[in-house]
Amino acid sequence: MSGQPVQLILLGTPPSLAQRLQRQGWFGHVVAAPPPPGWAGLADPAAAASLPGPRCWLSNGVTPVQLGKHDLLLTTEAAPACAADCWVGIHWQDSPYAGEHGFLLAAGGSPTGLQRAQPVLDALSPAPGGWLHAGGHGAPAYLASLMQQLGSGMAGLASLMATTATTGFNPIWLGQQALLAQLAEQAGHYLAASEGEHYQPHLPLPPLFGLTPPNGAETDSPARKLACLLVWLHENASPPK
């Protein structure tokens, strides 16, 4: 962050996040939770006002944060319409091995915000640059919601497998169609919210995201390409013969 010392502040994040940062040589402050060794504790977010800036907040989005002039917020919270360069959306997949090997990590925001956040994102990911620039500010929150909906839907389909001996596979097919319809509806909302987004990848993308669904554009972000694919799959689904 502009070559200046950064006051790193964790708010409502899992212990594995602090462990990963500490392993990469980062230390800072933890709000309203027992700090790990080498970290300092803060009673509440307002106590951070006494720290010299710039401050970099990592938040799970449950508690509002008052940002100072040069502060940066990395948050899992869905981005507001007024999100600016000081706001970077993030989504991480936690793992028992995250402290040692890093997180599967997606980030979204403006080019300036991502440039400022890159040192922290590099420290959290398996290797420098090993994170996905998913799209605009709202892309990580969309991916998190999508994974949650997909996980619960797949669990419901798995429960139907035990009934196939008596009911056949039709209930599973209908369940798949219902899940796809839900995912497509969610994708449609995201596409509408991110319409007009100008995406320029901050980092080289994995080859998978070089592919473009029939209803998408080559310049779409990974999050928009995934949303387009879900809408296309729903519109082109056909019943089994």
Residues contacting residue 29 through CB under 8 Å, at least 6 positions apart: 7, 8, 9, 10, 35, 39, 40, 41, 42, 48, 51
Whether the pLDDT of residue 169 is over 70: the answer is: no
pLDDT tens digit sequence for 33-83: 899 999 999 999 999 988 987 899 999 987 778 888 889 999 998 887 667
pLDDT tens digit sequence for 181-218: 999 999 999 999 999 999 999 999 989 888 999 999 99
Two structure tokens written together for 16? 């594995």
* Residues paired with 89 in a beta bridge: 75, 108
Residue with tokens 């798995």: 158
Please tell me whether the overall predicted TM-score, pTM, comes out greater than 0.85 for this model: yes
pLDDT tens digit sequence for 109-164: 999 999 999 999 999 999 999 999 999 999 999 999 999 988 877 777 677 676 77
Q: Helix 222-235 crosses helix 170-193 at what angle (to 10 degrees)? A: 140
Two structure tokens written together for 7? 């006051």
* CATH match of 7-135 with 3.40.50.720: yes
CA distances from 214 to 34, 77, 82, 133, 227 (A): 50, 31, 31, 22, 12
Residues contacting residue 66 through CB under 8 Å, at least 6 positions apart: 45, 46, 49
In sequence order, what E strands does 51-188 have? 55-59, 72-75, 87-93, 104-108, 132-135
Whether the pLDDT of residue 174 is over 60: the answer is: yes
Least confident of 4-8, 43-47, 119-123, 231-235: 4-8
Q: Is the preceding omega at residue 204 within 30 degrees of 0, hence cis?
A: no
